[in-house]
A and B are shown apart, each in its own frame.
Chain A
Amino acid sequence: MKAFGALHPLVLFCYFIAVLFLSAFTSHPVLLALSLLGAVCFWATLEQGGGFWRSMGYYAVLFLLIAVTNPLFSHNGVTPLFFLNGNPVTLEAILMGIDIAALMVSIIFWCKCYSLVMTSDKFLYLFGRIVPKLSLVLSMALRFIPLFQNQAQRVGRAQKAMGLYAGTSYVDKLRGGLRVFSVMVTWSLENAVDTGDSMRARGYGLKGRTSFSLFRFTLRDGVFLAGTAILFAAVLAGMRMGYLHFTFYPEVAPVQTALAAIWCYVCYGLLAFLPFILETEENLKWIYSVSKI
């Protein structure tokens, strides 16, 4: 979490786009295997303990379900293994099923990692630069929601303590809720007047507003961004040149072993394992420095 997540939001965002793009637009089993493993390893560094094993169990079941679905519905392929209700279940269809499962589960895992690493403030920072007003509005909204909830609860409790609509029927509850909501609208407006005063008092609305953030783009971020771009470009070039072409039907194609293809696998593997490598490196550093003490 610490090592990779501490990179600049721009780097993180580009990285996830690159990985997701490559995983989504390939059906090559080697690439998908690398992608899945990379994602799971990264997930393991983010979510330790019981949570990790619980989600692993859940996704293993999902993986199997997807893998089984394909041969049930697709009967292409030249190697029938057995017949089910008079339909052939082929080796090719099973392998294709596993491939699709790997594709889907790896994308799910990458998305889970994304949501843990790219927190809302990082996202806001990135897209707030395009529309500066929007990022302030979002930030204000995020402040306002808990405030509103709190006040609504307080009003609800105060009303209940007067015995108003304390009945158990749904109509009563709904009416009580509506009444509280209507007064909350008034409250929100009152609150907005104060907030507006406080903004004007601090010079909001003057020309040339800048937008500050805690993130800094360092040399390290530059290196990672460049690395991601190079690996991404290399794999993309490999795809364009046909080294990463793979078919299941009618017969499973052999995995290419040309030097260029192997280079593509290495590049993709590096890309997929980048966060894991980074995290592990830092963990090892910690263990090492602790053992020195």
Chain B
Amino acid sequence: MDLFRIENLSFRYPAAEKNALSEISLSVEGGSFVVLCGQSGCGKTTLLKMLKRELSPHGSRSGEIFYNGLCLQELSERKSACEIGYVLQNPESQTVTDKVWHELAFGLENMGAPTSVIRRRVGEMASFFGIQDWFRKNTSELSGGQKQLLNLASIMVMQPKVLILDEPTSQLDPIAAADFIATLQKLNKDLGLTILLAEHRLEEVFPIADRVLVMEEGGIAAYEPPRSVERALREKNPAHPMLKALPSAVRIFCGVDRIGDCPLTVKEGRRYLSEHWSENPPCVPPAAYMPGGEPALELKEVWFRYSRDLPDVLRGVTFSVCKGESFCILGGNGTGKTTMLDIAAGLRKAYRGKVLVAGKPLKEYRGGELYRHHLALLPQNPQTVFLKKTVEADFEEICKVMEYSAQERADMIESVSARLGIEPLQKQHPYDLSGGEQQKCALAKMLLLRPRILLLDEPTKGIDAFAKLQLLEIIRELKKDGIAIVTVTHDVEFACMAADRCALFFDGEIVSDDVPRRFFAENNFYTTAANRIARHLDPFAVTVEDVVAFCRGGK
């Protein structure tokens, strides 16, 4: 039986020129796991919100949505609130109350459930989600992953029939995200819960989906089981942009002329390569890292802790980055990577050790001198960079602070905007932009400072595959200008493409650094999916392109 049936649904926001959704018809079977993907702004969120009546946006619509054979508009308020659960993107802003237990009870309170029922259901859900250890804590003390798990649990207490999630893992680190996805899979398998999940990190969700819905410009590009998505997209357009966002195994399959069945997971990918290309000679090992060039930023034996009684966060961090070099530091969550960037940017002071910017100790930069044409830090949340009502006003202000002349100012803004492709966004409010757009505008603001060193903190957090590729291009461009770039990230896929040199940060220090292909070849777990697929045949194949080249090399 179809749980949702959508017939010819079109929707247009007030005062918009184009339809946000056009002529969408599809049905979702009860108990299935559907993954939605597509470029930002393709209408994923609009479609999901249309399915939850309480959140349906205002605008002109046509077509019908049926839930369990009943028109969605005719569903009773209580049923609609209980049976259709909705998890939003930002884990922080959707939490309502201050205590974990109160958050869990909130939905049932709204339903007017008696205390005994609430007690039982809250207890049951807290046990299922492993919340009992932090049941009485304040919600503000939780980590991002815990918060999102709490948001999920506080919807599950209402015993929904279908769960709709809009990019729930985009603000989480990879480990928390994997945990969250595993919980969703468990709910789908053990309870037969229907799940509609919008995601842009497809590596993990793709193999567990029953169907994948690829959207483009408000319409459906493909609605297929995961194994046939690639074929459907290629039939539509051989260079379909979504092909670049699919999981590594699928992209390798796509790159090697698609012999046999499409592999989805690392395990299947390994078997697939072994079957077809085990005879191929491995690539030549790349040359080891050769230090060279003029150092732009150096950290020497830097030690730091937050207060006298707390343990050390940094224990003798030492590294140096040269002009025009891109250096990526990888490492787990909460290990002190962001703290290290704060120290390099002069926001916190190390209690031992030295930081040299362009050969001069950090201490000798007075006032705001360090931030003028020397160093810029792009924080994890690009939203925090903006203070004005439009992006343009923010740009103007920073130029004024930098004391550029009027002519210079206009030229700078124009050239930087053209470079990052953000001219159409300038009149908008920074908070109205998508994650990727915000990232680009924030980066533009940093570039107006004309830094020689750019520090990036988790630049790929919350942005989709296309924005990531654009960011990659930008980094390559900046390197040509001789800007040194230090990136701190969890994203191994991004690091292997963006870096000249990668390093692992662990236990307060940098434990290994090398060129990406050697670095990832050494790692067994902390490496890209493509490398895990191909490493038994060619340990130095790190990116999907490397693996494809390896396969083709044999033919």
Give A contacts to B, CB under 8 Å.
Answer: 121, 136, 139-140, 142-143, 146-147, 151, 154-155, 157-164, 166-168, 179-180, 182-183, 186-187, 190-191, 194-195, 197-214
Contact = CB atoms under 8 A, between A and B. Distances in A.
A202 B81 CA distance: 5
B344 to A, nearest CB: 10
Contact of A161 (B82, B101, B138, B376): B376
9 contacts: A159-B385, A163-B368, A166-B367, A167-B368, A201-B81, A203-B54, A203-B77, A204-B110, A211-B109
Contacts of B347: 157, 160-161
B90 A194 contact: yes
B307 interface: no
Interface string B80-114: 01100110101011111111011001111111111
Contacts of B342: 157
Contacts of B154: 202
B78 interface: yes
Given A199-B96, A212-B115, A162 B384 contact: no
Interface of B: 52, 54-55, 77-78, 81-82, 85-86, 88, 90, 92-99, 101-102, 105-115, 118-119, 122, 136, 138-140, 151, 154-155, 158, 342, 345-347, 367-368, 370-372, 376-377, 379, 381, 383-388, 398, 401, 431, 445-446, 449
A143 B94 CA distance: 11
B431 A139 contact: no
Contacts of B88: 194, 197-198
A151 to B, nearest CB: 7
B449 A194 contact: no
Contact of A147 (B140, B346, B381, B445): B140
From A139, A164, A201, A206, residue with most partner B Cβ within 10 Å: A201
Contacts of A210: 108-109, 112-115, 118
A207 to B, nearest CB: 7
A180 B158 CA distance: 39
A210 B77 CA distance: 17
Contact of A206 (B81, B93, B119): B81
Contacts of B105: 212
B433 to A, nearest CB: 12
Contacts of A198: 88, 93-96, 151
Given A166-B371, A199-B96, A203-B81, A155 B118 contact: no
B216 to A, nearest CB: 26
Contacts of B377: 158, 161
Given A146-B140, A190-B431, A195 B93 contact: yes
A168 to B, nearest CB: 8
A218 B449 CA distance: 66
Contacts of B151: 198
B38 to A, nearest CB: 21
B96 A195 contact: yes
Given A162-B376, A163-B371, A195-B93, A203 B431 contact: no
B93 A143 contact: no
A203 B115 contact: no
Given A158-B379, A162-B445, A202-B154, A151 B384 contact: yes
Nearest to A211: B109
Contacts of A186: 431
Contacts of B114: 210
A179 B384 CA distance: 12
B384 A136 contact: no
From B81, B85, B107, B384, residue with most partner A Cβ within 10 Å: B384
3 closest Cβ pairs, A-B complex: A163-B371, A203-B81, A163-B368
